[in-house]
Every structure is written in structure tokens, then in C-alpha cells.
Amino acid sequence: MQPKNLSLATSPPKSSALPEPWIERLFARFEAMYGARFADAWKCCSIAHVKAVWAEDLGGFSRDELAAGIAGCRSRDWPPTLPEFMKLCRPPIDHQAALLEAIEQMARRESGRDRWSHPAIYWAAVKIGAYDLGRKTLRDLDAEWRKAFGDQMALGQWPEIPERLPALPAPGQTHSREVGKETIQAMLARLKSAAEAHCKASDDGA
């Protein structure tokens, strides 16, 4: 889970600039973290204009992404520029790791226990579908996943991940909880085996 260090009540509108209170909190946090170094970074600029540009360019970023950016600043000795901060908010995601997460979390979603590190992974998983994610091999999924995930990451902003609604059994059929558990366990066992194979292949290639 990404840390939630920025005290913001709700996510910002996806198509507009960050609200002024958000930017004020963000810059206050930078000032507290970097002191005079932060002031020196903008001493030749209009701080009002700087804040306006940051608010505009960060308008599509979620609360969790901004919190991740602030967390990334803890390892930096100097305050970030706007492009640097945006990269801290949205660090590159490994395609293979994202695919493994998609397989695992789609299996857990059947019982409402899914936890996603990034909405793009969820929406790419939805594009492919739980059936294929649960049954195809990593090799078979690779090209399809790279396209689906790449398309999602290119969007730059994503709808919220919806809560899982329990599926109703088809007419004339009964839902077996035990069968559902067995299916999930089988998918998780397959994921574990695939992850171990991937780690072994990475070690062999090192």
C-alpha cells in the first residue's frame, strides 16, 4: 500500500487543477522538509505563478499519488522540480510485476480481498478479464498484458477502482462457496509457482 502522508480529504477532480488548499499544504510540506533550500529554489520566481503551474500540471494526480511523491522526497536532499515530483508520484511500473499483481488481485477480488497498488493495473486486468488471467500462462499473457497495461498508463488518469459487488448465481443454479475457495486457492497456487519460476529465471540470467 502506498503511504498516505498528505492530509487531504478527497481526490481532486480529474480534469481540473488541484484545489488551492492542496497546493498550499504541498508547498508547506516542502518548506518544512527543506527549509531554506526550498525558499532558495524559487527566490527568482513568482511563487504565486509557480503554485498555479504546479496546480495545473498535478490536476490529474490522486491523493495517494501525491502522498507517494512526498514519501519519495524523504530520500532527497534538495527539493524537487515539478517534473521530478511528477516522476516521484508516478514511478515506472515493471510490466511483469504488474501482471503478477493483476493475476493475484483478480483472484482475491472474488472474495473482496483485492488490494491494488495502482488503478492502471486494475483497469488493464479488467480489459483482459479474470478468466484469461486465471488460466493463461505468463508467456501467453505477456503481449496482451503489455498492450492493455501500456494503453492504461498512457491515459495518465483513471476512474476510481469500484468496490466488488457479489455476483448472483444463474437461475436454477446454486453458488458453492467451497468451490469458489478451491478456485481461488488454485489460482493463487499457480501464481506462486509462476512467480517462483520468474525469480529463478531472473537469477539464472543475472
Tell me the pLDDT tens digit for each residue of 18-77: 999 999 999 999 999 999 999 888 888 899 999 999 999 998 888 888 998 999 999 999
Q: Which of 5-9, 85-89, 185-189 has the highest mean pLDDT?
A: 85-89
Contact yes or no for 96/198 (Cβ under 8 A): yes
Exposed, middle or buried: residue 201 (CB in 10 Å: 0-12, 13-18, 19+)?
A: exposed
Burial 94-114 (b: 16+ CB within 10 A, else e): eebebbbbbbbbbbbbbeeeb
Mean pLDDT of 86-91: 88
Please give the C-alpha separations between residue 126 and each of 113, 121, 130, in angstroms, as whole numbers. Answer: 16, 9, 7
Report the pLDDT value the prediction gives residue 21, as an integer from 0 to 100. 92
pLDDT bucket at 142, cuts 50 / 70 / 90: very high
